[in-house]
Structure 1
């Protein structure tokens, strides 16, 4: 008995061979169905309105309308649309803008299919996703200033919470953070809980997105 896919995917890239290969690989999953392909941002916008995909795999660099403008217009019309950006090395300057627009995931175009499915699963389950290679690159540029970072008018990360946030984003465990900051693991556990609550984040990928939004990352 065939199981109907849970989610519809739209692939947007100006290279037909790349789209075809990605479509074939995604179609091997029972959870996702590729409902369309677009080669430009204009095509994407018309397809999103007709096909109503759950998630879009969107290239940044395209002719006529780039991925940034396409994402902005699509999300203004369909705020619940999930978008995962497909990027190349050297395009980090676009990440701030894409995160601000509401893009949920970032994949390098040379990612393997396992990571593509990891990104799709994370985003469709309500989270965010960064390619591991992108994540390592970004956290290496995390700032280490001691300024308080405002969450809203009534709350902010303390200097210590900011230090813990940066170390979390760098992949350190709570035990390693405790050793590095000369505090107890229980104290780190408390700081981590406070950070997740204040930032409304669920995991490290979400915290990196938060760090980008707050300009804790230099790209």
Structure 2
């Protein structure tokens, strides 16, 4: 099997070099390009076969939000993992609406980067545990949405990053039943994807911290 092709977009060369060093130690992935801003990234994506993008939010010329919007607008569906700082929460809703697949702390080490990349490549949402804890400890938002216990179980497993197949096994349900239930939750919570659903659930106290 050919290695998965990864692109990094970040304006800090030191950070890109650090991630490159981690990627070199991983099996089945290869770095095929680097960009220092969103404009360079779009040019790179247009001429390079890419399986996954590691994307910074704050960059000169064009930031990560605008770049992600253009990439999705062009029809590219490769996973996008956002390289995040602790104070980037204000940007998350916009990025989730665009359709990113997860958030990873910039200072993450080998193990977390490996898990995040594997999750995204397998079509699963990924949210850094440290960022999740930060979000959980922030001020909760009120909501009128009510979820059943079965829905709460499903959301909890989504927050943990389990795939559809894994969730089906955990809940002893068919894959189609899990997909249907998740689709209904997306409509119910007005969220575009599993990553957005997980963030929404945490913000609005739809899952228990002790269960994640």
TM > 0.5: yes
2:178 maps to 1:199: no
**5+ long unaligned stretches in structure 2:** 161-170, 186-192, 205-212
* Aligned counterpart in structure 1 of residue 93 of structure 2, from 92, 96, 107: 96
Q: Which has the larger radius of gyration?
A: 1
In 2: Cα distance, 1:163 partner to 1:35 partner: 40
* Aligned counterpart in structure 1 of residue 145 of structure 2, from 144, 147, 152: 147
Compute the TM-score of the two structures, normalised by the length of structure 1.
Answer: 0.71
Q: Which has the higher contact order (CA 8 A, sep 6+)?
A: 2
What SS does structure 1 have at the residue aligned with 2:14?
A: helix
Q: In 2, are the aligned partners of 1:144 and 1:163 still within 8 Å (CA)?
A: no
Q: CA RMSD in A?
A: 3.2
- For 1:133, the equivalent position in structure 2 comes to 130
Q: In 2, are the aligned partners of 1:41 and 1:62 still within 8 Å (CA)?
A: yes
Compute the TM-score of the two structures, normalised by the length of structure 2.
Answer: 0.73
In 1: Cα distance, 2:136 partner to 2:154 partner: 11
In 1: Cα distance, 2:129 partner to 2:19 partner: 19
In 2: Cα distance, 1:29 partner to 1:87 partner: 21
How many residues align? The count is: 184
**5+ long unaligned stretches in structure 1:** 149-157, 172-188
Q: In 2, are the aligned partners of 1:136 and 1:170 still within 8 Å (CA)?
A: no
What SS does structure 1 have at the residue aligned with 2:76?
A: coil
